[in-house]
Chain A
Amino acid sequence: MRDVAVVGFAQRQMLEFDGSPTCVELLVPLFEECYAQTGWTRRDVGFWCSGSSDYLAGRSFSFVQAVDAIGVIPPVNESHVEMDLAWAMYEAWLKIQTGEVDTALVYAFGKSSAGTLRRTLSMQLEPYTMTPLWPDTVSLAGLQARAGIDAGLWDEAAMAQVVQRSLTDAEGNDHAVRSGGSSVEALLAKPMYADPLRKHDCAPVTDGAAAIVLAAGDRARGVRDRPAWISGLSHFIDPMSMGTRDLTRSASAARAAAGVDLTGVEVAELHAPFSHQELVLRRELGLGGDVRVNPSGGALAGNPMFSAGGIRIGEAATRIWSGEVDKALGHATSGPALQQNLLCVLDADAFGKVA
């Protein structure tokens, strides 16, 4: 395997983006930021890949006009996944591994506020027997949280602790759309939203976009003193059916963890749009108490659909670049109740052992 590193990252998270659902206006400045970080122009980018959802935009081919943000001539080597940024990055990583290109810029965008997000996401469900009942995302997450409480795996206080830590950490994140710690007691005093979830247990509906730059070997070393080398990259999916999987577990997350080496991870950015999902993930990934989780505040501080998973990888990378840690984990999820999960392990040392 070739040594490939995350060498650039730019993000925007906001409550409401006052612009087109294609978010072209958001992407142009993000690309400019990536060029500034790398010293590249668009012609230095060997491969482009984006992530987005037509249903979020309420139209077909929503990614098509986003390509306009790249520029016109010459045409680009480009692809798109109807998935989160993290999987767009995976496709770009593959392209670099084939040896066809040495560099890639991946991006994603989503305007969650254009509709009622929790209802829009009901369209993700099994269309013949589930969607007609319109179970929304928050209600499904509530069922998952309740299952864990009933099983004695966590309680409302443990969930509030996740929120308290996340929103306190989010105070140091300029991109957070929700922040400000209080206390576990104060959080537990807030009203129920979808029992046992309170509003702060659910990620805020967030508009936004993000971009990540990848480079191989010396191209990466040319950009940064401490590139964030991808030493592990693994993703799996579970069946969707809520009735046949144990909602207190995430088999695909555990499987992804078995495919990478998490020993020595100092910081983990976990994409947990609901507080209890962080607890599920910590267990499935076997993260010890010494691993710092979501120093950015995580998805509870901002969750722009289709880029929030990739943002976790970008946040993890920045801590390698800065020298703060030597090994970090970025995680992304997709589908209802942690159905699909991706892990990206970032390392200060390149060693070409990705399997």
Chain B
Amino acid sequence: MGKQPAAVVGVGQTHHRAKREDVSMAGLCREAIDRALEDAQLTLDDIDAIVVGKAPDLFEGVMMPELFLAESLGAAGKPLLRVHTAGSVGGSTAIVAASLVQAGVHERVLTIAYEKQSESNAMWALSVPVPFSMPVHAGAGGYFAPHVRSYIRRSGAPTHIGAIVAAKDRNNALRNPYAHLRNPDTTVESVLASQMLWDPIRYDETCPSSDGACALVIVSEDVAASSPNPAWIHGTVMRSEATTAAERDQVNPQASRDAAAALWKQAGITNPIEEIDAAEIYVPFSWFEPMWLESLGFAEEGAGWQLTESGATAMDGKIPVNCSGGVLSSNPIGASGMLRFAEAALQVRGAAGEHQVDGARKALGHAYGGGSQFFAMWVVGADKPA
């Protein structure tokens, strides 16, 4: 039978905040689900299966919370899957949901990814001492800072590049009513004046800790026919590499390069920077924009920072990156990857509101996780794949 066409016809997300004390976990998820279903002009009764994604259960203190949430998510009496692939999980979850349609098993699949980080302490949850392995006690910033330093050394990038990314994404977030951080006066200078946290990463170059959720409705070709603006899935990819290996390049991991190569091939893209109109790339610390631009093939190795510096990644640039404000402006970890995938879909559906890139026809959604070792990506397009 082969792979069946699949499209995103509904996108929903919550307002992201440090603490959503007004809703429970179920309420948070339903806020995103209800918006996605309304967008898709469907109800829960129409949904065949539900795929839930989130990062570690220790973030909320509930083991496999999808079990207690099953009824409130509308999954009772339906098949339910729960994906967890670290920070890339939002992307992986959307890919698993897509595969249910692409495999020809279901016609209408709802997928939801969330994190309610205020239910516990994410830094603590990441730092539980584990028998037989040395605790890092660094949090994500401390873990990634050496990778950033290594990138700067290898590429010879000027040290203000990260601040350019942070100022751009924080200003993009002002156009996104759902974004968590709304810092209207952010400039390169103000970012550079902020506190140094993990040299060379400054406070304003880091993502917030957010409560939030994102939901997508992914449907078959027949169902998509009644949607005014489906986002067709042109390619999906997941790649992983091991944690512990001397031969790993954590600045430009092979799993990332392999994933990008497989993705572009699947989507029939030979020149990403010319063919992709908008990219939502997982950038939790500002410097990851130039790093991933290279790894994804938008720039030659060592030249990603020049693309950022030239303004090419701004809303009106050649390759707009993170028009939504990105992870730097909202980071409910389990949902962050799906938010990237969702924004890519919104762009090609012409539904991104004030952060819409004019005439976007093909967009990239990207997520990564673990120690830069898990990658999930998709390309969506306004046109049905050839």
Enumerate chain A interface residues (CB-CB to B < 8 A). 1-2, 20-21, 48, 53-55, 58-61, 63-65, 67-68, 70-83, 87, 90-91, 94-95, 97-100, 120-121, 123-128, 130-131, 234-241, 251-252, 255, 334-336, 339-340
Contact = CB atoms under 8 A, between A and B. Distances in A.
A307 B133 CA distance: 24
B63 A339 contact: no
Contact of A123 (B62, B81, B82): B62
8 contacts: A75-B239, A75-B259, A76-B240, A79-B92, A83-B82, A234-B79, A235-B79, A251-B77
Nearest to B246: A72
B255 interface: yes
Contacts of A58: 128, 130
B126 A60 contact: yes
A80 B77 contact: no
A227 B259 CA distance: 32
A72 B81 contact: no
Contacts of A339: 67, 70
A1 B106 CA distance: 12
B171 interface: no
Contact of A65 (B238, B239, B244, B255): B244
A38 B86 CA distance: 31
Given A75-B259, A127-B62, A240-B68, 8 more contacts: A68-B242, A73-B254, A75-B253, A81-B84, A82-B57, A82-B84, A91-B83, A91-B96
Contacts of B82: 81-83, 87
Contact of A237 (B1, B70, B92, B239): B70
Nearest to A71: B242
A87 B49 CA distance: 14
B76 A239 contact: yes
B241 A75 contact: yes
Contact of A59 (B63, B105, B128): B128
Contacts of A124: 62-64, 67-68
A220 to B, nearest CB: 17
Listed from nearest, the 3 A-B pairs whose CB atoms lie closest are: A97-B103, A75-B255, A60-B56
B58 interface: yes
B359 interface: no
Interface in B63-118: 63-65, 67-68, 70-71, 75-86, 92, 96, 99-100, 102-105
Interface in B273-325: none
Nearest to A114: B131
Contacts of A237: 67, 70, 75-80
Contacts of A130: 68
Given A95-B99, A99-B2, A238 B70 contact: yes
A196 to B, nearest CB: 25
Interface of B: 1-3, 24, 55-65, 67-68, 70-71, 75-86, 92, 96, 99-100, 102-105, 125-126, 128, 130-133, 237-245, 247-248, 253-255, 258-259, 370-371, 373-374
A81 B242 contact: no
Contacts of B57: 53-55, 60, 82
B131 A20 contact: yes
Nearest to B67: A335
A74 B241 CA distance: 8
A239 B241 contact: no
Given A79-B83, A83-B82, A2 B130 contact: no
A79 B238 contact: yes
A77 B239 contact: yes
Contact of B71 (A80, A125, A241): A241
Contact of B248 (A72, A127, A238): A72
A60 B373 CA distance: 16
Given A55-B57, A237-B78, A70 B242 contact: yes
A339 B80 CA distance: 11
A335 B163 CA distance: 47
B242 A72 contact: yes
Contacts of B63: 53-55, 120-121, 123-124
Contacts of B133: 20, 65
A21 B131 contact: yes
A304 to B, nearest CB: 17
B79 A76 contact: no
A128 B240 CA distance: 36
Contacts of A71: 242
A291 B122 CA distance: 49
Contacts of B374: 64, 78
Contacts of A120: 63
Contacts of B131: 20-21
Contacts of B241: 67, 72-73, 75-76
Nearest to A336: B67
Contacts of B373: 64, 67
Contacts of A53: 57, 63-64
B125 A60 contact: yes
A81 B51 CA distance: 11
A95 B196 CA distance: 44
B53 to A, nearest CB: 9
Given A72-B248, A99-B3, A237-B70, A59 B242 contact: no
A240 B130 contact: no
Contacts of A98: 3, 99, 102-103
Contacts of B24: 128
Contacts of A131: 62
A67 B128 contact: no
A301 to B, nearest CB: 25
Contacts of B62: 123-124, 127, 131
A55 B62 CA distance: 8
Contacts of B258: 74-75
Nearest to A57: B130
B32 to A, nearest CB: 19
Contacts of B240: 48, 67, 75-78
A336 B258 CA distance: 41
Contacts of A75: 239-241, 253-255, 258-259
